[in-house]
Amino acid sequence: MPASSMTDGAPRTRIPGVPSGQRRHVAVMVLVIALLLLGSQAPVYRVSQLTAVFIFALAIMGLNLVAGYGGMLSLGHSAILGVGGYTTAILINDARLTPLSTIPVAVVLGVLAGALIGLPASRVKGIYLALVTLAFAVSFPEFLKRFDGLTGGAGGLIVRSRDLVPPPWSGFTRAERGEWMYWLAAAALLLGFALVRSLTSSRRGLAIRALRDHEVAAVACGVSAARDRVTLFAISGGITAGAGALYAMYLGALSPESSFTVFTSIQLITGLIIGGVATSLGPVIGGFAVVFIPAVTTELTNGQAYGLVFGVILAAVVFLMPSGIAGWLNGLPKALSVHRHRGTKHDPERHDGG
């Protein structure tokens, strides 16, 4: 991860022709691949957990676009995640398509769903927008129950594991489905990361952040608030629906009452806050938080401890690291530099030249 990528709050200065940036990119890619290879060697149950982390990180990455970079709190992303999940499940079960070929369809429908949920963003903001998007999250499970012929209704949908076997060209066997899902989810996360980086560092990305920070000034400069916000929701929807498709392939079972409820939206938002709003690494850290905090607390003690630990961590992050763990990490070099600078100023020996 380049250090500059973690300071997304401010426009970056591009210095063309400096080869150190390229070397840094290569080093980061090598590090990421090494970490992924290391993860793939973990015990099967850990690989499964890491797969869940990647999927949730991708979903949070979609949410981060609108809630972080766009400054628009969406509580409707559980519905978009569900659109992706149900699209994949229905296409596998009814159209007998291979899992991979359902992902583009899920992404396209996610884009449409995102645009639909984002339409109100051109008119309302803040808490009012959150409430409008909440309506989508609340109504989505009811919608699934209503169209039971397609969605399995209240009983949900099951995708059989034999329909989720890795494609022959992947080199993975049926027994290695967990490993296949790990690499597929990792690839999707990296693709999502590249997409978000590409968007946020583009002119459109600057416009979106300008709308978030100074809407009047941005509009005065010719930025179309309605168009850019709906577009942002649409792209965010595509990413989150992609995560939904992977979720269906990973879990193989979807239910309107447990898979994509308002609680799922809250889970995504919580992950984003813990990870770091409007940061590149935040969604990945959020994915780890959403998956591993319950897993670790379950191992330590059974029962209601999970909710308590999650709440304490959330409160601690909000108080101690208001910009999330990634935001805190971003600020660390600057804080250390200031600290070092102060130390230098107040160190009489150094003043004397040692």
Partner 1 sequence: MKKLRLLVPAALVPLVLASACGIDDSGDVAGSVNADGSFTVDTANCLDPAAATKEIGDTIKFGWSVALSGPVAATQVRVNNGLQARIDHYNEAESDIGGRAIDFTMKDDAYDPQKAKQNVTEFIERDNVDVLGAAGTGQLAAVADDQNDSCVPLLAGQVAAPQFRDAQTYPWTTTYLPSNTLEMELITQLVTSEAPDAKVGLVYAQSESGESYRTAFKEAAEKAGIEIVVEAPVTTPEEAASQVREAGADVVFNGSVGPDCLGVPEAIARAGIEPEMLIQVSACADAKSIYQAGGAATDGAVLMSWAKQPGSADLESDEAWQEYAAAVTAVGGDPNDNYTIMGWTMMDIVIDSLRTADKDGLTRENIINAARTQTFHPELFLDGIDWSMEPETSLGIAEMQPLRWNAAEGRFDPLGDVLTVSK
Place of tokens 């290879």: 37
Q: How far apart are CA 133 and CA 117, in angstroms?
A: 6
Smallest separation, CB 202 to partner 1 (Å): 5
Take residue 257 and report the two structure tokens written for it. 């009452």
Nearer to partner 1, 129 or 235 (CB): 235
Take residue 124 and report the two structure tokens written for it. 């309302």
Nearer to partner 1, 28 or 108 (CB): 108
Smallest separation, CB 275 to partner 1 (Å): 19
Nearer to partner 1, 125 or 145 (CB): 145
* Residue-wise DSSP of 24-91: HHHHHHHHHHHHHHHHHTS-HHHHHHHHHHHHHHHHHHHHHIIIIIS----S-HHHHHHHHHHHHHHH
Nearer to partner 1, 120 or 247 (CB): 247
What residues have CB less than 8 Å from 133, skipping those under 6 apart? 73, 74, 75, 76, 77, 117, 120
Smallest separation, CB 165 to partner 1 (Å): 9
**Cβ-contact 117, 231 below 8 angstroms:** no
Smallest separation, CB 304 to partner 1 (Å): 5
Nearer to partner 1, 161 or 344 (CB): 161
**Cβ-contact 206, 11 below 8 angstroms:** yes
Smallest separation, CB 237 to partner 1 (Å): 13
Smallest separation, CB 338 to partner 1 (Å): 35
**What residues line the site for partner 1 (CB under 8 A)?**
43-45, 48-49, 52, 92, 95-101, 103-104, 107, 145, 148, 153-156, 158, 160-163, 167, 169, 174-175, 178, 191, 194-195, 198-199, 202-204, 251-253, 255-259, 294-295, 298, 302-307
Smallest separation, CB 303 to partner 1 (Å): 5
Smallest separation, CB 188 to partner 1 (Å): 9
Nearer to partner 1, 124 or 190 (CB): 190
Q: How far apart are CA 219 and CA 200, in angstroms?
A: 18
Strand-pair partners of 157: 254
Take residue 200 and report the two structure tokens written for it. 């946020």
Nearer to partner 1, 174 or 340 (CB): 174
Give the Cβ contact number of residue 38 at 10 Å: 9
The pairing of strands 157-158 and 253-254 is antiparallel
Nearest to 255 by CA among 134, 82, 138, 6: 82
Q: How far apart are CA 35 and CA 352, in angstroms?
A: 46
Nearer to partner 1, 132 or 164 (CB): 164
